[in-house]
Amino acid sequence: MSGLMKKHLTKKEISLTFIGPNAGMAAALEAMRNLGFKAITKIEDEGGPAIPWRESRHYNDPEKRPGLLLSGARFREGLTQAKLAEQTGIPRRHISEMENGRRPIGKSNAKKLAGVLNIDPRRLLAL
């Protein structure tokens, strides 16, 4: 079975990574265990090999990168697509299509989106 055909995980799980002083590691691990997290030795133990996000095929696809940046900036600002549409005047359907790489963002929309999302509009334009 090819990698693209693998079944997606259905559990609502997250993976966390922390950086901090060694002295606090035991306390941090204990606190996370108390919240239901478990320590794993390798990411491969949890469903296959992991790759850095910058090496993912989606991040490196020049057609999808602006949409990923748009989606990430929207998430960072705590906005839904509907709320972003309301604040920019861009239809929600168009925002969805831009985030999924099915519609180019364009200069005019990039300026509107960047103003609300507090980013440089050039980051939203395909290179």
What would the pLDDT profile of 62-97 be if each residue is shown by its tens digit? Answer: 566 788 889 989 998 999 999 999 999 999 999 999
Q: What is the CA radius of gyration of the chain?
A: 19
CA dihedral 74, 75, 76, 78 (to 10 degrees): 90
Average pLDDT over residues 44-60: 57
Confirm if 74 and 117 have CB atoms less than 8 A apart.
yes
> pTM of this prediction?
0.55
With a CB cutoff of 8 Å and minimum separation 6, the contacts of 114 are 120, 121, 123, 124
Confirm if 94 and 103 have CB atoms less than 8 A apart.
yes
Least-confidence region, from 26-35, 36-45, 68-77: 36-45
Confidence of residue 109 (pLDDT cuts 50, 70, 90): very high
Q: What is the pLDDT of residue 45?
A: 46
Highest CATH level, class, for 65-124? mainly alpha
**What span, in angstroms and rounded, lies between the C-alpha atoms of 33 and 120?**
40
| Residue extents of the structural domains in the chain | 11-50, 65-124
**C-alpha separations of 8 from 11, 16, 19, 47, 91 in Å:** 9, 19, 29, 10, 30
